[in-house]
């Protein structure tokens, strides 16, 4: 195990409106504000999204299993943002619910808001971390320095 101790810096509250790009907006905010390490929460609605719901098999490197939202869903999620190659990299895991169906996964593509989505981004200070490709598992993972 590795860990570092830091503090909460600035807090950003954002409202994404209907049909806005969720992952793109998160990227835009942290890039504009110069935030290189953060945690964030999302709550609201999404109409589109492509999520990874786990690996095909428990082997390395993993082959992801993809699911598409394709219609409005309620969403609650938690994520982290750390730089990868000097650019913000958003990592979000969330639950997406519609009627009696719930999907949980890692949102990676095609993320659009349904009606409204709220984000609370908390900057982390005193943390020296980035995302880097780990060739053994074929994924970009957190690296602490």
> Angle at CA 134, nearest 5°, toward 55 and 57?
15
How many Cβ atoms from other residues are within 10 Å of residue 113's Cβ? 24
- Each residue's pLDDT tens digit in the chain (145 positions)? 999 999 999 999 999 999 999 999 999 999 999 999 999 999 999 999 999 999 999 999 999 999 999 999 999 999 999 999 999 999 999 999 999 999 999 999 999 999 999 999 999 999 999 999 999 888 999 999 9
pTM: 0.95
Match 């943002």 to its residue by tokens: 81
Distance CA 49, CA 8 (A): 29
User: Considering only CA atoms, which of 61, 44, 64, 58 is closest in space to residue 108?
Assistant: 64
Number of helical H runs and strand E runs in the chain? 1, 8
Domain 7-144 maps to which CATH number in 3.30.1330.80, 3.30.720.110, 1.10.260.40, 3.40.50.970?
3.30.1330.80
Domains of the chain by residue range: 7-144
Beta bridge partners of 140: 133
CB 77 within 8 A of CB 121: no
83-107 burial: b if 16+ Cβ within 10 Å, else e = bbeeebbbbbebebeeeeeebebbb
């Amino acid at each position: 195990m590795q860990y570092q101790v830091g503090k909460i810096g600035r807090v950003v509250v954002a409202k994404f409106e209907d049909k806005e790009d969720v992952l793109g907006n998160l990227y835009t905010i942290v890039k504009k504000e110069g935030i290189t390490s953060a945690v964030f929460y999302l709550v609201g609605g999404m109409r589109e999204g492509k999520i990874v719901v786990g690996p095909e098999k428990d082997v390395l490197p993993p082959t992801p299993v993809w699911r598409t939202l394709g219609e409005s869903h309620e969403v609650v999620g938690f994520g982290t943002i750390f730089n990868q190659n000097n650019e913000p990299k958003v990592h979000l895991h969330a639950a997406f619910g519609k009627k009696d169906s719930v999907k949980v996964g890692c949102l990676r593509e095609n993320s659009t808001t349904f009606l409204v989505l709220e984000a609370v981004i908390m900057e982390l200070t005193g943390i020296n971390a980035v995302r880097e490709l780990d060739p053994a598992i074929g994924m970009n993972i957190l690296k602490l320095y």
